[in-house]
Structure 1
């Protein structure tokens, strides 16, 4: 079953077998992250299938390189009609396109802490001010082309320019 899971990325089986398979396969996937001759031989001693070992070390180990664990997902299905056994999917997490977020590559943080220390005092106020300044949109004046070719572009620019306070040159003319 471990070989089938590695080759097909998803299999349907009973819930009890899926839970047992998870405990068997996840250490093998962890061992495949370290691509050495020793780890290949160790994994081959469990799987006894050269093709499955190759797929595991080439494809699967690259996808799970940043993941600290939890390489499989078990999804419960309806009971089997013949004997009413609990059925389940077991699949490799990184190969399911339904549960992936937009843009695929979702990186996990390397720390397992729940929360960080909160900044206090001037450091937090300065950082909040920087975030607020970067969050506000910057308005820019746009100059549209004149409707008729007779109007010069400079007049259109003056009409579109925002009005400002009087400059010191204009104040001197009034005096």
Structure 2
């Protein structure tokens, strides 16, 4: 038979040991404390605290994991509703082992393993509240930064649109002014041509009149 790595086995087989620890965990959650040998208490402690950790999560998967060990549904309900609520402020150390005098007869070392139901100290509670407030403030600040960034992006896009519209309007105005100036120049050029033609006609008429006067004198 293979030897366990963590000290001697508590029962004749691993399956027997698992059932023994499951029964002891059920008794611990039912009564809040049990008296056993020191070695059994040390082996029970990590099992019980792991079950409490599952209970603090509170989801369906965790409940099914606990039901694999504890088959009593009323104890599971007690663990998830009352014990998990009592351990909510704790990050660990859900159980306490207190040594008591040795057992009569075989002189085996005994101990009492119990749930730590005392509230967290005021200092630790203040630290937890401060950490929670810091996390909430960080989330709010991140949300505000995101909103401000989005607003800046929207505002920048609006400014770009306005600038493009102004540029377009200015361009259209310039084009209209240029067209108007071209029309005016064309009109001025046409008037100048008409004036030149009229001046040339006047000069021809004057020359013809002068020639006629010269012939009459002869």
Is TM (by shorter chain) over 0.5? yes
Higher relative CO (Cα under 8 Å, sequence separation at least 6) belongs to: 1
Q: Which runs of 5+ in 2 are unaligned?
A: 1-23, 130-218
1:106 offset after TM fit, Å? 3.1
Match of 1:84 in 2: 107
Match of 1:69 in 2: 92
What do you get for the CA RMSD once the two structures are aligned?
1.7
- Which protein is bigger by CA-based radius of gyration? 2
Question: Where do residues 102-141 of structure 1 align in structure 2 (5 Å cutoff)?
Answer: 106-107=121-122, 108=124, 109-110=127-128
Match of 1:51 in 2: 74
The two structures have a TM-score, normalised by structure 2, of: 0.45
**C-alpha contact 2:25 2:44 (8 A) present in aligned 1:** yes
1:18 offset after TM fit, Å? 0.3
Q: Aligned partners of 1:50, 1:65: CA distance in 2, in Å?
A: 21
Q: Aligned partners of 1:59, 1:88: CA distance in 2, in Å?
A: 25
How many aligned residue pairs are there?
A: 103
Q: Aligned partners of 2:47, 2:60: CA distance in 1, in Å?
A: 21
Higher helix share: 2
Match of 1:19 in 2: 42
**C-alpha contact 2:35 2:111 (8 A) present in aligned 1:** yes
Q: Which runs of 5+ in 1 are unaligned?
A: 95-99, 112-175
Change over 3 Å in CA distance of 1:20–1:82 after alignment to 2: same
| SS across alignment from 1:74 | strand
Is residue 43 of structure 2 the alignment partner of residue 28 of structure 1?
no
| SS across alignment from 1:73 | strand
Pick from 16, 19, 33: which aligns with 1:10? Answer: 33
Match of 1:93 in 2: 116
Q: Aligned partners of 2:92, 2:58: CA distance in 1, in Å?
A: 17
1:110 offset after TM fit, Å? 3.9
